[in-house]
Amino acid sequence: MSRFAFFTAEPQSNHIFSIRADDGRGILGLGYFHCVDTFPKTLVAKTDDAGKRLDLFLTLQLAETSRARVQQLIAEQKVLVNDVAAKASFRLHGGERIAVLGEVRQPPLRAMAEDIPLDIIYEDNDLAVVNKAAGMMVHAGAGATDSERNRGTLVNALLHRFGQLSDVGGELRPGIVHRLDKTTSGLIVVAKNDESHRKLAAQFAKRQVKKTYIALVHGWTKQDRGTISSSISRDRVRRTRMTTRGSGGRGAVTHYSMQQRIASKYGKFTLLEVKIDTGRTHQIRVHLASLGHPVVGDALYGAPRELIAKDGPGISLPRNFLHAAALQFEHPRSDVMLSFSRPLPSELQEFLEKVGAE
């Protein structure tokens, strides 16, 4: 006999709802769904919102819209407070009716060839392995202008160098099988054709690719080695951050082993070798920060911008102390196992010397 179910949705937080199926004789299922931002949208400021800036209020209310995007919406006069365009710095009093009229008008993103030097450590007809410098984005991303979003990326440099890359990743990410953060240096493999891309991507999905990183973190880790298995999701307040404390995140596994403990006039540090089974956004950085040991230089996850000495001037590192030092995978055509490694770049070696590492 057929069973008919009634579905009810109840809010769990600002943008998370539970959905329940009940046929009158018991609950058939319980799940959760995420409410995606749609426009136009009208919001009403509550008494508790008094004193908040308009851009911050909207960032908290719009789950899928970053503060930068909110500020662009306001600049394009797509946000009205009581039917009048307002500035991002406008302070709410409570009770205002706020209308968000539409989405940000973004010029189309596209990858473009640029003559940028690259450190190619291996190349054949199917792939290339690049030692990426810190400070270079892998592919185009969000920014205030078309030039800022599209210039100076690894993809642009690869297009100039090779002319043709795989199309599997789309127009913005040709050849890109995996990524490294902008402030992370080290090894990355790129695909020149679609067949190689699919086979390499399958290895990553099956966790067959071995990736090893070197990281310097603040403090001394309690254990010489350990594994962090915490799901990672986007921080609901600071949208540029990831977190292990949210709900509905993606599983992530990070292994670390202590290489050296350092006691210096700038404080205590631990040099770690890190291996990851998964490749989530900011995975190593957010996992290590969750232990109370942020990566040196990583102000986004709690590291100080400057290290103050006990008896002299301070020092700073204008990047994260995180380097993709080794990469091992199976060649997509020959099935031969390929292994590559690169030492720490000079700026990280010099920093280690400054803090007195052996």
Reply yes or no on whether 181 is catalytic.
Answer: yes
- Which amino acid would we find at residue 22? D
> Each residue of 233-242: b (16+ CB within 10 Å) or e?
bbebeebebb
Distances (CA, A) of 239 to 128, 180, 307: 33, 19, 27
- Distance, CA of 116 to chain centre: 24
- Residue 304: which residues within 8 A CB-CB, separation 6 or more? 218
Contact predicate 203/328, CB 8 Å: no
Of these residues, 181, 194, 277, 298, which one is catalytic?
181
10 Å Cβ neighbour count for 346?
8
Task: Spell out the long-range contacts of 153-156 with Cβ–Cβ below 8 A and sequence spacing 24 or more.
Answer: 153/111, 153/114, 154/118, 154/130, 154/188, 155/111, 156/111, 156/112, 156/113, 156/114, 156/116
Catalytic residues: 181
